[in-house]
A and B are shown apart, each in its own frame.
Chain A
Amino acid sequence: NAGVMQNPRHLVRRRGQEARLRCSPMKGHSHVYWYRQLPEEGLKFMVYLQKENIIDESGMPKERFSAEFPKEGPSILRIQQVVRGDSAAYFCASSRQGPGANVLTFGAGSRLTVL
């Protein structure tokens, strides 16, 4: 009964490159959330997705960041033209539909380092 799977666990990119982070939700979960944890800061909500739909992207930076959760396959968080300030741990979480939807199960995170 695998939990939330994220890959890669560690990713190094040079400024200007693209970063793609993948997340497979827990079995039976149809809601996916992405959070970012910057050094010395708390976890910050970025986006909430269901299959093929972005429900809430109020925490996403307006430029360079995008997220998708296709009908088949994992959810992807894409960061274009990365800058040093994008260096952070990116966590994916998932939850069930209906009651208890605010009970999030987090993955182990993907740690992005931008050189």
Chain B
Amino acid sequence: TQLLEQSPQFLSIQEGENLTVYCNSSSVFSSLQWYRQEPGEGPVLLVTVVTGGEVKKLKRLTFQFGDARKDSSLHITAAQPGDTGLYLCAVGNLGGSQGNLIFGKGTKLSVKP
């Protein structure tokens, strides 16, 4: 069974702090996606990582895919209140159709000014 474990579940920090959130599994994936979901809205795709060990940067966000392609991390530098939201990781459901994604439960981030 594919399961994505995200940690921490909740994170509350002050503006300017750095943070890292994690997405772990015992399964190997061909790719992994990170989304951000703001209250009352749908998830928005941030990045797709494909290669083991890959690092992608999106402004103050750094995404890393584990060497074994079983886990991923998202690091935010100098967090801002606009970073507040639910961060979700997702992978394709093995044996499922395209678009049949499995999501983690997410990390709920709150950045206080």
**In whole angstroms, what is the CA distance A103 to B90 when docked?**
11
B80 at the interface (CB under 8 A from A): no
Question: Which residue of chain A is the closest to B89 with respect to CB atoms?
Answer: A42
Q: How many angstroms between the C-alpha atoms of A43 and B101 in the bound complex?
A: 9
Contact between chains at A42 and B101 (CB < 8 Å): no
The interface-forming segment of A11-19, A54-62, A69-77, A79-87 is A54-62
Q: Which of chain B's residues have a CB closer than 8 A to the CB of A109?
A: 40-42
Does A1 lie at the interface of the complex (its beta carbon under 8 Å from any beta carbon of B)?
Answer: no
Chain A residues numbered 23-65 whose CB sits less than 8 Å from any CB in chain B: 31, 33, 40-45, 48, 55-56, 58-59
Q: How far is the CA of A91 from the CA of B99 in the complex (A)?
A: 13
Contacting residues of chain A (71-115) with chain B, CB-CB under 8 angstroms: 91, 93, 95, 101-109
Say whether B98 contacts A102, CB under 8 Å. yes
C-alpha spacing A29/B93, complex, angstroms: 21
1/0 per residue, CB under 8 A from A, across B81-113: the answer is 000000010101100111111111110000000
Q: Which residues of B contact A104 (CB under 8 A)?
A: 45, 99, 101
Flag if A91 contacts B42 (CB, 8 Å).
yes
Q: Which residue of A lies closest to B42 (CB)?
A: A106
| Complex interface: chain A residues within 8 A of B101 (CB) | 43, 45, 102, 104
Identify A107's interface contact among B42, B48, B98, CB under 8 A.
B42
Say yes or no: A42-B99 contact (C-beta < 8 A), given A91-B42, A108-B42.
Answer: no
Q: Is the CB of A102 within 8 A of B42?
A: no
B92, A41: Cβ atoms closer than 8 Å: no
Contacting residues, chain A, for B48 (C-beta < 8 A): 102-103
Cα distance A104–B101 when bound, in Å? Answer: 10
Chain B residues with CB below 8 A from A56, complex form? 96-97, 99-100
Could you list 5 A-B pairs, sorted by A, with CB under 8 Å? A56-B99, A101-B99, A102-B31, A102-B48, A102-B98
